[in-house]
Structure formats: C-alpha cells, structure tokens
Structure 1
Amino acid sequence: MRAMHRLSARAVATLGAGKYADGAGLWLHKREDGGGQWVLRYTIHGRRREMGLGAASAVSLKEAREAAERWRAMVRADKDPIKERERKRREDARNIHLLKDIADDAFEARKAELKGDGKSGRWFTPLELHILPKLGKVPVADIDQKDIRDALSPIWHTKAETARKAMNRLGICLKHAAALGLDVDLQATDKARALLGRQRHKPENIPAMPWRDVPAFYSSLGDGSVTHLALRLLILTGVRSGPLRHVREDQIDGDVWTIPAEAMKGRKDATVDFRVPLSAAALTVIDQARRHAREGFLFPSVRRGVISDMTMSNHMMRAKMDYRPHGFRSSLRDWIAEMTETPYEVAETVLGHIVGGSVERAYRRTDYLEQRRKVMEGWSDWVCGKAVTADDSI
C-alpha cells in the first residue's frame, strides 16, 4: 500500500517551490512566491485527472487529507469527483438563484460593453423599476410568460419604450441564467409579448425649439453658471448631452474638441473618435467654464461628478418651456437645411450621424472637419445675434 501522511504542518509552511506528495494521490504544489495549492491525483475510467482542493493558505493539511479521502471514496464508487463537484454546483445554483441575483450578475458581466461601464444606470434602470419589484425574489427557473405579462402590463401601452427596454433586459437575464446552467424558459419573453399584444403608444419626438427662437433663448443664458454655460455650449456644438456633460479639459485641443468613440451614441466602431470644430463663441464659453472645472471636468455638479441629464432640462421647465435640451440638435439641423447649401453628408456629420454603408465609409476617409467648421461658425453667428440670411448660404 502506498505510504500516506508524508507531510507535516511545518513542512507545508516551510517547503520551497516544488511538488510534494502526501500520499494516496494528495499533492502539495508550492510556488516561488511561497503560496501553495492542494491537488488530488486520481484515475477514473482509464483517465488520469488532477483536482484542485484549495489554496494551502486557506485549507490546512488535515482538511486537505479529509477532502481527499471523501473524493477517493467517490472514485471507488466509479464516479468522477470533478464531474460530481460540477454537478453539485449546478444543483446548488439552480436552487438559490433568484432573478435579482441573475440581474445583478448579468449587469456586471456587461458593464465593459456599456457606456461609462453602465454608471449612468440606464441599462439597469428598466429592470430595477418595472421588473425586480415584482419578480426579483422569484427563482429565475420559475418565471414564465404570465409573470412577465403581469409585471409589464401597467406600462405596456403608456410607457411603450420603457416597457420594450425592460422586456429586452429581462431576455438578456434569462439567457445569462441559461449560460450558468439554470433551467429557464428562453421563450418566455416572446410568449409574454404575444400575451400583451401590439403596443398602441406612438413614440413622440423630443420637443425642439424653432431655430428662429434660439438666439433669444441663448441671450438669456448670461449668468455664467455651470448650467447656463453647459446649455450655451450644447447649442453651439450640436452634440448630445452625454458627451457635453462629461467634456474634459484634456479633450480640447486648440479649436477642436475630440469626443472619445465610446461616448458617441450609435457608433459601433469603438476606435473612431469624433472631432467637433469649435467656433469662436464656443471657445469663449469653454474659457468661462474653466473657472468651474473640477477634476478635469468643465461642468461639475455641486457635490460630485458632473451635472445630471435633468439639470439643463429643469432649467427649461422652470422657464415654462415645452422644449428640451436634446431638441437643439433638431434646431441646428433645421437651420442648416433652411439657411445653408450644406451637402447632406456634411450636415449629417455635424450631428455625429453615420452616413453611408460600410463599404462607402471604408473608402471615404474624411470627417468633413473644415466644411463643418464653416457651418458651425455660421450657426454661432446666428445664435449670437449676428445677421445671417439666405444670401449668406454656406
């Protein structure tokens, strides 16, 4: 019979790097850094296998011997310890995983592909508000189409877009659960859609201020506050509020603002940044904003981070306006169409839209920066109250 219990607790702590047998297939693998790992070697069905039993710093010699004996008994019963351990883990997971746990795990797994690692909460919010309060404590394997229907029916028609996002996020969670080996119904969301029926709600465009009214509103933003300056730069550049709120001083180089590709909505090619030409008026706003800068951000909030999406919207709401900040992109686009001779490709690129198919874009290497610069100077002249007529078409 093979010798057993060759090692001592002192030897486990003091041995140098190498592999040391305790007997009957139990080995201690020591590393150069002093750490170690317990390994059980065994043969099952003609295959030689090695099974980790834990780190030597966490599992004592006595505990390693006891664990090794339990798994050797399983080998004698003609069962593979590694496969049995995995089967037990799957059974345990199936018994304890609630939807809220799966949702958290799915969110963590996807953070890297979300803008800003999902810190804004937009990915998780539809689940958090409309799914988890009703289904969060339900075992994910028990969720069916009727549960989903009951959770989303209150908003299915009144908040159609939010309901659609919540349904999609839930579908991702179910796929994540299936990947973990849980027994879930991957068709549950499709069945729930069939039960809920076609959505009646029609999405409404964000209210946009008519371009002729923009100069008057711009002139009212004169107190030099973070909110006023952020709105001024938003109007002058035509960018979305996300990149605007997160603009950093190191993104500004001369009269060009470079927005990182990952911050651009709808751009799948994460290697392409977007350059924004800055007019003289925009540069003046940026210089004024530098007085408020904190941790590199030009538009910091009062407490921490940057101003929220609602900060600028609330300003317009308090002024009893139906318009919203995002609508200034439409104001700019309408001004370009009515007051300039700007080619379609240039006009769309002003707003950061992707123009043309993948083949066309592969051959077109320009981002029309100089043409866009002329357009934005003309827009700034208009916004700042300088006379721009149809005769001054760009």
Structure 2
Amino acid sequence: MPKISKELGALEVARLKSDGVFAVGGVAGLHLRVAGLSRSWVLRYVIHKSRRRMGLGSYPTVTLSMARDKARDAHLKIQQGIDPIDERGSLRAQRQLEQAKKLLFRDAANKCITAKSGEWSNAKHAGQWSATLETYAYPFIGDLDVTTIDTQHILALLQPIWHTKTETASRVRGRVETVLDWAAVFCGHKHPNPARWTGHLDQILPKPTKIAKVRHHEAVPYKEVAPVVGAIAASAGQGAKALLFQVLTAVRSGEAREAVWSEIDMGAGVWTIPAERMKARREHRVPLSKQALALLAGQARKEGCDYVFPSESGKALSDMTLTAVMRRMELTAVPHGFRSTFRDWAAECTDYDKDVVEMALAHTIESKVEAAYRRGDLLEKRTQLMQDWANHCIQAQ
C-alpha cells in the first residue's frame, strides 16, 4: 500500500496552483494533478503487481472530501482483488450496451413497418399500420423503451376501445404484438410479449367474436342488380367505368382499379392478373364477357399511362372513387358487395359447381390435399359462367 502523505486541508489544497502532482494525504495514493488552469484528482495504487492511475474527477467540482471518499471506496475494492479501473470500464461498457439496445416503441414500429412492407401486396398497408398505431398505441407506449412495456400498458391502450371499436382494437393489438416481436429479435430481448393473445390477454379481455357482430360488406340483392348495373353503365367518369368492370368480372376493387392494358388480351378475351396483385398471391385469369370486352373497347388509352381506368393524374383510381359512384346513386351497398351478389346469384339461379364459382372469385382452396392435386383453373367453365353473369347484369349488345 502506498505511503500515506501529510494530510492537507481544504485551504491548503486550494493554494496548490503550480504545475505538478501533489499528494494530499488522508487516503494512500490520493493526489491533485495541476496542469495550467486544469486541476484534477488522481489515485495511484498497485494491484496484481501493476501500477495504476485512476482519475477521480476535476477540482473543485469534486471537493477534497469527495475525492477522499472516492479513494476510500476504490481501496475497498482493491482489498477484494477488484481493479476499480477495470470495474468502471466494465460498467461503462454495460451502460453503452444497454443504451444501444434501448429502442422506443414508435422507432421500433417504423423500422418494423419498413422491414415487413415487402410482404404486403397492398402498398396502403404501411400507411394503415402507421395510422392505427399513431392514433391508438403511440399516446400510451410510443415514447417507452420496448423493454419496459408490460401488460398494464397494453391494457391501458386496448380497454378504452375493446368494446366500442372491437375490430379496430383487435387489429391494433395484433400490430403491437408484431412490433414487439420484431423488436425482441432485433435487440435480443427474451421477455414474453405483453401483447400476445393466446394464454395471456385472452384471459383478461373477452373474445372479439363474442362482443362484436361480424359485419359483412353490404351488397345489392341479385334480383335488383340489373337496374343498378344499368345506372352505373349510364354514369359518366372513369370511376363508374371501373366499377362496372369490377361488377362484370366479379374481382376485388383494387384488382379492377389497378388493371393495366398489358394484362389484357382482347383477342383471347382473357384478363391475366399477376400474382403480386392478387390477395392469394397467385396468378388469376379472368374470362371477359362480351359486355366487359365492349367496355374495354370503348376505353381511350391515355398516352404514357398503362392503367385501363386512369385518374386525371394518370394514376390508379382510389377505392373511394368507386364508392362515391354508389353514393351518388344513393346506394348503401359497397363495391366489394357485388362479389356477394355474384355468389348469391350463382347459387340461387344457376347449376354451376361451387368450385367453378369459388375459382371465379379467386378464393383459396381450403383443402391442402385438393389444392395440391388441382392444376387447372377451370377457365372454360368460368367463361360461360361470366357470360351468364354479365347477361344477368346487362343485356349483351
């Protein structure tokens, strides 16, 4: 242990202003280092046969009394075989690692959305995720480190909307769970996800299906579809034409709105929608009826634009454009409801096999065994089906 020097008082230490290293006593190895206007505390000690110098802070921010307390604490560690410099370095590295792992929920959500956006067939999904999290999750957990979020935080954001906006609340819960799962992998966390449903929140919150009625898309009754389609056909604008095309082909709104000429073979009367634009991520061929072909033949191609039904700016029409057509007709039904109309008509008024109808709707075959053996898409049978449907909707010209 170093020799204990004469113990200096606070006033004596304050007078040490010439350059040098001065032992101040009171604790073995404690010195004040003076270099110009800079004065700082240094503790000299020997451990494991190695001479070390440990900084204890600047003077007078660290007073003489404080420096001696720090030096005594260091000597206690030295007596236990712990090098205080190494320990301090380890603690600093640990804090830096913890800081590096710290991730706010809103930042995790943005990174998660960016990482997973490639999986989504609809570009609007990223915006929908951001909007719902911004509205319902960020006010409660947006500025929290993901490692500090617990079940009570999740309940705080879900309970106010669980009974009144059940579908939205369920969607928010799932998105929060996904973000926290992503963050756990990204940061190496191992704690259970507080937003998980099975075996966790399902023990606290009632099942969504028990408190919210399933709301189907409102549809036009198949017996009333002809005059409605006639009114749509008589309406002006690209929105009405795109809606009519959707009705005649029984596709989803987005598939009709984003149709491009390069997908359509007028000679063969077939519209081939690529897999990346389909919900099931599988290419879908649509046989075009005489009425659908006549509609396409009447469409003027916009220079520099491949969309069949372009907006004024040359982009795809929005979903609200088609809905607005129906609202102007004072209909409460929605564009997607025409798919239900088509299915009801096929079941009630035709003898077509259910598989033909389901294939026309591009629905996924539920049986994996059956899906594995089915190679064709029943195009020939669907050609007559779609022509019969078009004839039901509007008389062929």
Q: What's the TM-score once normalised by structure 2's chain length?
A: 0.70
Alignment of 1:259-274 (within 5 A): 259-265=273-279, 267=280, 270=281, 272-274=282-284
Q: CA contact under 8 A between 1:233 and 1:285: conserved in structure 2?
A: yes
Aligned-pair CA distance for 1:372: 0.3
Deviations 1:270-309, CA, capped at 9 Å, x for gaps: 4x31101111111122233344576311222334631111
Q: CA contact under 8 A between 2:181 and 2:193: conserved in structure 1?
A: no
2:227 counterpart of 1:216: yes
Aligned-pair CA distance for 1:206: 0.8
Separation in structure 2 between the aligned mates of residue 145 and residue 344 of structure 1, nearest angstrom: 46
Q: CA contact under 8 A between 2:151 and 2:194: conserved in structure 1?
A: yes
Q: What corresponds to 2:271 in structure 1? A: 257
Q: CA contact under 8 A between 2:288 and 2:386: conserved in structure 1?
A: yes
The one of 251, 254, 257 equivalent to 1:242 is 254
Q: What corresponds to 1:197 in structure 2? A: 206
Q: What corresponds to 1:91 in structure 2? A: 98
Q: CA contact under 8 A between 1:126 and 1:163: conserved in structure 2?
A: no
List gaps (5 residues or longer) in structure 1: 1-76, 387-394
CA 1:339 to 1:119, structure 2 compared with 1: closer, same or farther past 3 Å? same
Aligned-pair CA distance for 1:192: 4.2
Q: What corresponds to 2:375 in structure 1? A: 365
Q: What corresponds to 1:73 in structure 2? A: none
Q: What corresponds to 2:137 in structure 1? A: 131
CA 1:85 to 1:274, structure 2 compared with 1: closer, same or farther past 3 Å? farther
Separation in structure 2 between the aligned mates of residue 113 and residue 341 of structure 1, nearest angstrom: 38
Aligned-pair CA distance for 1:213: 1.2
Q: Secondary structure at the match of 1:131?
A: helix
For structure 1, which segment, 280-289 or 320-329, has the greater mean C-alpha deviation from structure 2 after superposition?
Answer: 280-289
2:218 counterpart of 1:207: yes
Separation in structure 2 between the aligned mates of residue 163 and residue 301 of structure 1, nearest angstrom: 34
Aligned-pair CA distance for 1:102: 0.2
Q: What corresponds to 1:300 in structure 2? A: 310
Q: Secondary structure at the match of 2:133?
A: helix
Alignment of 1:1-394 (within 5 A): 90-95=97-102, 97-117=103-123, 121-181=127-187, 183=189, 185-190=191-196, 191-199=200-208, 200-221=211-232, 222-254=234-266, 255-265=269-279, 267=280, 270=281, 272-291=282-301, 295-303=305-313, 305-385=315-395
How many matched pairs? 304
Separation in structure 1 between the aligned mates of residue 251 and residue 324 of structure 2, nearest angstrom: 19
Separation in structure 1 between the aligned mates of residue 242 and residue 108 of structure 2, nearest angstrom: 38
Separation in structure 1 between the aligned mates of residue 171 and residue 246 of structure 2, nearest angstrom: 27
Q: CA contact under 8 A between 1:292 and 1:299: conserved in structure 2?
A: no
Separation in structure 2 between the aligned mates of residue 85 and residue 304 of structure 1, nearest angstrom: 57
Q: CA contact under 8 A between 1:312 and 1:325: conserved in structure 2?
A: yes
Separation in structure 2 between the aligned mates of residue 194 and residue 304 of structure 1, nearest angstrom: 51
Separation in structure 1 between the aligned mates of residue 155 and residue 338 of structure 2, nearest angstrom: 37
- Give the superposed CA RMSD: 2.9
Deviations 1:135-172, CA, capped at 9 Å, x for gaps: 21222222112221121223212222221111111111
The one-letter code matched in structure 2 to 1:150 is A
Aligned-pair CA distance for 1:327: 0.5
Larger Rg: 2
List gaps (5 residues or longer) in structure 2: 1-84
Aligned-pair CA distance for 1:84: 11
Deviations 1:312-361, CA, capped at 9 Å, x for gaps: 11222233222111000011111111221101111111111123522222
Separation in structure 1 between the aligned mates of residue 141 and residue 251 of structure 2, nearest angstrom: 38
CA 1:248 to 1:90, structure 2 compared with 1: closer, same or farther past 3 Å? farther
Q: What corresponds to 1:45 in structure 2? A: none
Deviations 1:106-145, CA, capped at 9 Å, x for gaps: 1111011111455663344432332124321222222112
Separation in structure 2 between the aligned mates of residue 139 and residue 237 of structure 1, nearest angstrom: 49
CA 1:185 to 1:118, structure 2 compared with 1: closer, same or farther past 3 Å? farther
Q: CA contact under 8 A between 1:278 and 1:376: conserved in structure 2?
A: yes
Q: CA contact under 8 A between 2:287 and 2:386: conserved in structure 1?
A: yes
Separation in structure 1 between the aligned mates of residue 122 and residue 311 of structure 2, nearest angstrom: 17
Separation in structure 2 between the aligned mates of residue 123 and residue 196 of structure 1, nearest angstrom: 22
Separation in structure 2 between the aligned mates of residue 353 and residue 153 of structure 1, nearest angstrom: 35
